[in-house]
Structure 1
Amino acid sequence: MAKTLPTAVVRSAQEIGADFAAWRKILGLTAAQVADRADVTRDTLRKLETGDSTVGFHVVLRVARALGVLDSFTSAVDPLDTDLGRARAGQLDRKRVR
């Protein structure tokens, strides 16, 4: 029996998918072009853009790269890009290399 995902996770998957679709449209790219550049099927891209949370994480990263937003996507979760993360950087095994 599959577990139900928390509402916040479902909502975030839908928002991220909609944002990727918006980037695709802003860049003037077709779904076929983005799918080809990301090396995923058109159906997989559609699932991602509609917020299907079963899409693999590697697909999210491939599509972000194809849209030119991978660096921004990666930076969004970098703890060293926050005041709290920088204040507690000593708890990390890595140091900022940017």
Structure 2
Amino acid sequence: MAGATSARTPVAVARALDGLGRDVTTWRKLRHLTVEQVADRAGVSRSTVLRLESGQGSSVENLLRVTRALGVLDLLTKALDPYATDVGRLRADEELPTRVRPRGAGR
């Protein structure tokens, strides 16, 4: 993100990371896979999988690689589908703007 600083992780984000980590661990165990097996299937290091499972930050790509290796990538991507929400369904027929500017700017 342009202009982003390395500020402290917000509490809500830290909680989400922790929850995702627990979920990744649970999926791995449900699939009877070791950390090494998931890392190998995902094409990442063992330490990357362990960081994800412990709720430490990692790249989105690594998270997606691991969820793919666990067979749950589609669940994650479907969870982010804006048209699967009430707001998305209500606005499904609207044409999305090419650019979004802050309201009231330049008027």
Number of equivalent positions: 92
For 2:20 and 2:96, the matched residues in 1 are separated by 28
Answering whether residue 19 of structure 2 is matched by residue 20 of structure 1, we say no
Answering whether residue 39 of structure 2 is matched by residue 35 of structure 1, we say yes
Task: Note the residue ranges of structure 2 that are not aligned, 5 or more in a row.
Answer: 98-107
Which residue is 1:56 aligned to?
Answer: 59
Which digits, 9 at most, give the CA deviation of each residue in 1:21-43, with x for residues without a partner? 00000110111000000000001
- Bigger relative contact order (CA 8 A; separation at least 6): 1
Q: Deviation above 4 Å: which 4+ runs of structure 1?
A: none
For 1:25 and 1:35, the matched residues in 2 are separated by 14
Specify the SS of the correspondent of 1:68.
coil
Deviation of 1:82 after TM superposition, in Å, equals 1.4
Which digits, 9 at most, give the CA deviation of each residue in 1:61-82, with x for residues without a partner? 0001000100010000101111
Once superposed, what is the RMSD of the aligned Cα atoms?
1.4
Q: Which has the higher helix share?
A: 1
TM-score, structure 1 length as denominator? Answer: 0.88
TM-score, structure 2 length as denominator? Answer: 0.81
> Which has the greater radius of gyration?
2
Match of 1:81 among 57, 76, 84: 84
